[in-house]
Structure 1
């Protein structure tokens, strides 16, 4: 087996977003297998042989980019590798999150351990030391165009290998020179091709995509649950979630969402109470939850599948196949992920968009028993009116962020790199959108819980009833106006901590309830 519960074999195991995050969080240890080490040594030897023979091979004994025709002497090949890390460290802006920088290192080790990059074992072992000891380089967020790899961020990521740059160490940001004094480490002497192998690749884009996959999955799962709560609070119809309907238009995401929501509504006294009402159909934000949430599920799945391919690929350049075949290609180009990230960004935005519509719907006062603005004594009280202003602002901001980064390309490197992916920008942008969606869902959660209150003494299904009780331990029913920002902060914590997902899992097991759909494994594992 290439993977075990306590370790992952770089270069040999199948890396997923979930495994990468476990390594980053110290839950799984990544090690390089002996089989991979043999491939790494063989690839390094091929590079050294190329240098000895003197045949011009891009990036080994030539300059980079438009300088690819400039021959580099045998004596200068090592200087070239150190220089490239320094000259390409041109990032600007706030540093990326420490976890993303750590993910970048994990993904780079996986790629280089395949044995096609000419990297030295010693170099990979030093990167593993950084990962294992949680000594994470400071990487600026801006400066990559997402082709020729994520050159600027990867350069900053690996400056510490040659004694430059800054790192986070034991909770502080320090110069690498100080780190070396403290630990006794020495700068590495990079060999031919090593600098280029380190900075050429898509690990900045892919690390952001790992976070997008994880965080968007969290939003999608909670959006279904919160949507079900809102259906109960507003006494919507359960019929739009019947499998008989969705089998006639069998998109996997639609079927999955419909089945989950219907399961959550099962056994609800609130739903039974209006089974014979004369309302024909609900507004789209309730009735079309399977179609809208389902479409976003499908977009998430598309990114997840492409990301897994990328996480198990070799993305630097040139590729060392064997002694006789070295290929200068374009596997560093971020387009395959860039387009999928833009798609996922739109999918995330739409979850926030329809959530805002359900919040607005809850405030209208058109559902019997639920007062306008979700409060009895309005006039002197504004009720939940202004919370929807916030979700409207967030939803609108997200729409502006949905312009696809991959639709743009600006030539670089004196025209040698004349089409780039901008996937690095798309990845950063997608995370901003998801963060906004978390806030919108938090407000919908509070709104749904407030609507629930007016259904008493009727009870909901056992799962949603437990979720409601948990919310009330953090946020009380609002009888009059108060500083709702405090409530929203509590709601955001609930969303980020996956509290309601955990309740669904716990109650389902305790009550022996089945929430699985035909596609549960596809949509629940990343």
Structure 2
């Protein structure tokens, strides 16, 4: 059971819920806090305060006043109009992660929603009702408006969901599980769609999996060193103490531990030195390890943040830019660059193993070369993926197109 309170949620918790289906429980004290903030919102509304997205239009329509009689309807119309995503749908794991993060953020209370909104998100998680969310449509600078709107549609009884393997109308599923439609109240529409939970969930999952990729690359490096009779001088602790980056030291130590007692690598003095793809692994993979650790720190702060607009501070509502996705976007770009560079080294190790002039092993690791092609095409595939990674790792955060 993962208990959420608006604080202390970790990437490993997200994986337990999103990937492995662990149940979610809401902290009771956090719900009391939500109710207290809700009362503050209602007091401001009843006092006639002009509040963005509550009694005004949104975006370029900020100067349009919305009467009290239409203020609730506005919330429904906002999520309907903003559910404009296109493309293939996000996978179940990602959508579950998004709902968990949205519920956790709203539990901070500063968005002013009713507790029933949070309970509905958690109910979807625990009953494994998956909103259908198109993967394209978020620009990031305004948060993840379009994809979050598709989730908001589903929890209120509109749109489509995946339930027990079938894609069906959300309304029918809610009726079948005894939940019924959910009518949004003041501010709840914009509170559901303002935020960075889509990019954060995606990046959190990537960061979790990146650790597995790194550990796999370390094991492959150790095997490559053994296969090629690698020289271990470059992994000496004394070498890395001279350049004491945390990741570099950890990677060198890990390789030494993996090869402890090996008689296939060369320990001690040597007049030769290995190629960069073997000798510089601590420096490259170490940087990757530090990138992953840095990214986890940033993303876990974001996972427990209020990313709405406006937000309740004290007894007032304050307009802000907490929905902006810059922190997560930069981490995602940084991670993509790091993993691409790690992939470059892995491909070069593969090439070195298969090239008989470099390895001293049979060409493409096969007997009767010519009749057999061995692992020739393995390296072709690796080269293809490395090239694709270089395209995909172009920083997205530097691009911008004006929107309303």
Residue 230 of structure 2 is matched in structure 1 by 236
Q: Is structure 2 residue 288 aligned with structure 1 residue 293?
A: no
Residue 381 of structure 1 is matched in structure 2 by 372
Q: Is structure 2 residue 97 aligned with structure 1 residue 106?
A: no
Residue 339 of structure 2 is matched in structure 1 by 348
Cα separation, partners in 2 of 1:276 and 1:100, compared to 1, 3 Å: closer
SS of the residue 1:63 aligns to? coil
What are the Cα deviations for residues 96-149 of structure 1, in whole angstroms up to 9, with x where unaligned?
Answer: 011100100000011000110111111111111101111110100000001222
What are the Cα deviations for residues 36-83 of structure 1, in whole angstroms up to 9, with x where unaligned?
Answer: 111111111122222212211111111101111211111111000000
Comparing 274-283 with 94-103, greater Cα deviation is found at 274-283
Aligned partners of 1:93 and 1:140 also within 8 Å: yes
Residue 159 of structure 1 is matched in structure 2 by 153
- 2:268 and 2:187 map into 1 onto residues whose CA distance is 73
Cα separation, partners in 2 of 1:276 and 1:341, compared to 1, 3 Å: closer
Q: Is structure 2 residue 275 aligned with structure 1 residue 283?
A: yes
- 1:237 and 1:154 map into 2 onto residues whose CA distance is 52
Task: Please point out which of 108, 116, 123 is paired with 1:122.
Answer: 116
Post-superposition shift, 1:179?
Answer: 1.1
Residue 205 of structure 1 is matched in structure 2 by 199
- 2:21 and 2:159 map into 1 onto residues whose CA distance is 28
- 1:276 and 1:365 map into 2 onto residues whose CA distance is 26
Post-superposition shift, 1:408?
Answer: 0.2
Q: Can you give the 5+ residue segments of structure 2 that lack an aligned partner in the other structure?
A: none
- 1:294 and 1:370 map into 2 onto residues whose CA distance is 29
Aligned partners of 1:10 and 1:109 also within 8 Å: no
Aligned partners of 2:3 and 2:27 also within 8 Å: no
Aligned partners of 2:195 and 2:307 also within 8 Å: yes
Residue 3 of structure 2 is matched in structure 1 by 8
- 1:75 and 1:25 map into 2 onto residues whose CA distance is 43
Aligned partners of 2:356 and 2:362 also within 8 Å: yes
- 2:146 and 2:289 map into 1 onto residues whose CA distance is 33
Aligned partners of 1:8 and 1:28 also within 8 Å: no
- 2:93 and 2:274 map into 1 onto residues whose CA distance is 43
Aligned partners of 1:112 and 1:314 also within 8 Å: yes
Post-superposition shift, 1:322?
Answer: 2.7
Cα separation, partners in 2 of 1:205 and 1:67, compared to 1, 3 Å: same
Residue 358 of structure 1 is matched in structure 2 by 349
Task: Please point out which of 63, 66, 71 is paired with 1:72.
Answer: 66
What are the Cα deviations for residues 124-180 of structure 1, in whole angstroms up to 9, with x where unaligned?
Answer: 111111011111101000000012220000000110222211111111111113213
Q: TM-score, normalised by structure 2?
A: 0.96
Residue 296 of structure 2 is matched in structure 1 by 304
Cα separation, partners in 2 of 1:276 and 1:110, compared to 1, 3 Å: closer
Aligned partners of 2:171 and 2:180 also within 8 Å: no
Aligned partners of 1:10 and 1:30 also within 8 Å: no
Q: Can you give the 5+ residue segments of structure 1 that lack an aligned partner in the other structure?
A: 1-5, 414-526
- 1:275 and 1:407 map into 2 onto residues whose CA distance is 46
Q: How does 1:124-523 map to 2 (within 5 A)?
A: 124-271=118-265, 280-323=272-315, 325-366=316-357, 370-413=361-404
Aligned partners of 1:23 and 1:29 also within 8 Å: yes
Post-superposition shift, 1:285?
Answer: 0.2
Task: Please point out which of 14, 19, 42 is paired with 2:13.
Answer: 19
Q: TM-score, normalised by structure 1?
A: 0.75
Residue 30 of structure 1 is matched in structure 2 by 24
Please, what is the CA RMSD of the aligned residues? 1.6
- 1:342 and 1:380 map into 2 onto residues whose CA distance is 44
What are the Cα deviations for residues 495-521 of structure 1, in whole angstroms up to 9, with x where unaligned?
Answer: xxxxxxxxxxxxxxxxxxxxxxxxxxx
- 1:306 and 1:378 map into 2 onto residues whose CA distance is 50
Aligned partners of 2:23 and 2:125 also within 8 Å: no
Residue 447 of structure 1 is matched in structure 2 by none
Post-superposition shift, 1:276?
Answer: 8.1
- 2:270 and 2:376 map into 1 onto residues whose CA distance is 28
Aligned partners of 2:99 and 2:121 also within 8 Å: yes
Post-superposition shift, 1:351?
Answer: 1.2
